[in-house]
Amino acid sequence: MQHIQSYIEEHKDRFLNELIELLKIPSVSADSAYKDDVIKTAEAIKISLENAGCDTVEICETDGFPIVYGEKMIDENLPTVLVYGHYDVQPADPLELWDSPPYEPVIKKTDIHPDGAIFARGACDDKGQMYMHVKAMEFMTSTNQLPCNVKFMIEGEEEVGSVNLSTFVKNNQEKLKNDVILISDTGMIAQDVPSITTGLRGLSYVEVEVTGPNRDLHSGLYGGAVANPINILTKMIASLHDENNHITIPGFYDKVEELSEEERTEMAKAPFSLEDYKKALDIDAVYGEKGYTTNERNSIRPTLDVNGIWGGYIGEGAKTVIASQAFAKISMRLVPHQDWEDITNLFQTHFESIAPAGVKVKVSPHHGGQGYVTPIDSIGYKAASKAYNDTFGKTPIPQRSGGSIPIVSLFEQELKSKTILMGFGLNSDAIHSPNEHFGVWNYFKGIETIPLFYKYFTELSKS
């Protein structure tokens, strides 16, 4: 029976080229200008799943972009793994900051990726990581080593909140029935420090609008006498954190799970260099909530960040003006037990309450989702841990991530199964940023590790 390593060796150029072809299609879900490309990508995924040995593959239409569903059921008495991933990508802008065009993938060596990395939008998030599963499937079916049933559900709206996928999941419980959900859409600590993501943060995303006078005004004639919406908005935003960088919204922390000292000590064992962290970001100090370490701040603690702020004159030169309106997009990352809709309401009530007379404030919720934590004693976690042990020669470290995949908690709620997050990206892979990339070594390591997950999950499920 052919081993995965020799299979990869034999097919590696094709594995890379197929991914490169997929990365050439700009499947930006947020921007309607790319609508046709998003649909084209769904069709390409359908073909790749058929080629990988799925028996049935369908494009499931939704009110938004389609979901590609495929399956291979070999025996109803065997366990079923449901693979989830997304084929949509974040917008590539600012384009001028890319060293090579975002949809013309190139392989270049970097310090962290001496074997090369594929540079393209979506290389790591999530086309590259999703495609590892397609190629692992191809290996298992073509060499007769698929040990259990498999279902694939690859969506095209993850980067815009997975709203239509929620409906699809609720309406297709029987079709999606599974014993474990497997996702590669997260990261690991370092190339030589494998880790399995055991937590994701929730999210509440809102847009705020502050309106002052009914028109833009001469800042000399009116300045000092009427509320300037930009001054007011920035002041209101600044008041959302206190001097300890604690969030000031009443009730915000009420449900936050406090980790025990033991859990915090355990977390602190994960290898981490503050010096390297600062160096990688060109900053001379880290910044955040008092009383917590950097790794705690970006995983087990909730946050509030302005993602964009605008208003007034930003063109060349100077214009003396008091803008009529000012705007900001604000995201709050949440931890388990904080309910995103409750938090959105708390934000709205508080933000409206701190508006001074002289302006009107409007808060519009965008989207959100709950956080997720998963235990490390489940069959799924154990199977993943054994798989990494085989391919990395080390036991992976459980790690709670700061990012969000809101659909994961909905999976648990609706499908009653645990999700295993086997991510092979690195924080330095620049997802959502210019020059996103994914290590060639990571891509192949993922393809190598995934079939072992299937094997151990099936074995452990029997015993």
Q: Return the sign of the alpha-carbon dihedral for residues 217, 219, 222, 226.
A: positive
**Residue span 112-131 as binding mask against ligand BES, x where in contact by CB under 6 A, dash where not:** -------------xx-----
Residue 334 interaction partner, one of ligand BES, Mn ion, none, beta carbon < 5-8 Å per kind:
none
| Tokens (6 digits) for 226 | 């009427």
Q: Which of Mn ion, ligand BES, none has residue 122 at its interface (CB below 5 to 8 Å by kind)? A: none
Regarding 401 and contact with ligand BES (CB under 6 A), the answer is yes
Name the β-bridge partners of 350.
none
Q: Is 41 in the site for ligand BES (CB under 6 A)?
A: no
d(CA 83, CA 67): 13
Binds ligand BES by CB under 6 A, chosen from 161, 199, 439, 451: 161
Give yes or no for residue 186 binding ligand BES (CB under 6 A).
yes
Pick the closer one to Mn ion by CB: 37 or 125: 125
Q: What is the number of the residue whose Cβ is closest to ligand BES?
A: 403
In the structure encoding, which two tokens stand for residue 172, read together? Answer: 């297709």
Closest to 410 measured CA to CA, from 454, 359, 384, 372: 372
In 18-72, DSSP assigns E strands to 56-60, 67-72
How far does CA 244 lie from the centroid of its chain? Answer: 28
Our finding on whether 125 is near Mn ion (CB under 5 A) is yes
Interaction of residue 88 with Mn ion, rule CB under 5 A: no
Angle made by CA atoms 26, 29, 35, in degrees to the nearest 5: 70
Please, which residue, 178 or 419, has the CB nearer to ligand BES? 419
How many residues are given for the chain? 463
Q: Determine if 157 is a binding residue for Mn ion (CB under 5 A).
A: no
- In this chain, which stretch among 99-107, 122-130, 190-198, 453-461 interacts with Mn ion, using CB under 5 A? 122-130
| Binder among 159, 179, 429, 436 for ligand BES (CB under 6 A) | 159
Task: Please work out the total of residues on this chain that contact ligand BES, with binding judged by CB under 6 A.
Answer: 15
Is residue 185 at the binding interface for ligand BES, with CB under 6 A as the rule?
yes
Residue 71 interacts with Mn ion (CB under 5 A): yes or no: no
Q: Which of residues 173-192 bind Mn ion (CB under 5 A)?
A: 185
Among 206, 405, 426, 430, binds ligand BES (CB under 6 A): 405
Which lies closer to Mn ion via its Cβ, residue 125 or residue 155?
A: 125
Full 3-state SS string of 216-276: CEECCCCCCCCCCHHHHHHHHHHCCECCCCCECCCCCCCCCCCCCHHHHHHHHCCCCCHHH
Which long-range CB contacts under 8 A does 270-279 form with residues at least 24 apart?
Answer: 270/189, 270/193, 270/195, 270/295, 270/397, 270/399, 271/189, 271/190, 271/193, 272/189
Taking CB under 5 A as the criterion, the residue among 18, 71, 88, 126 binding Mn ion is: 126
Give the whole-angstrom CA distance, residue 45 versus residue 68.
7
Q: How many residues bind Mn ion (CB under 5 A)?
A: 3
Interaction site with ligand BES (CB under 6 A): 125-126, 158-159, 161, 185-187, 200, 203, 401, 403-406
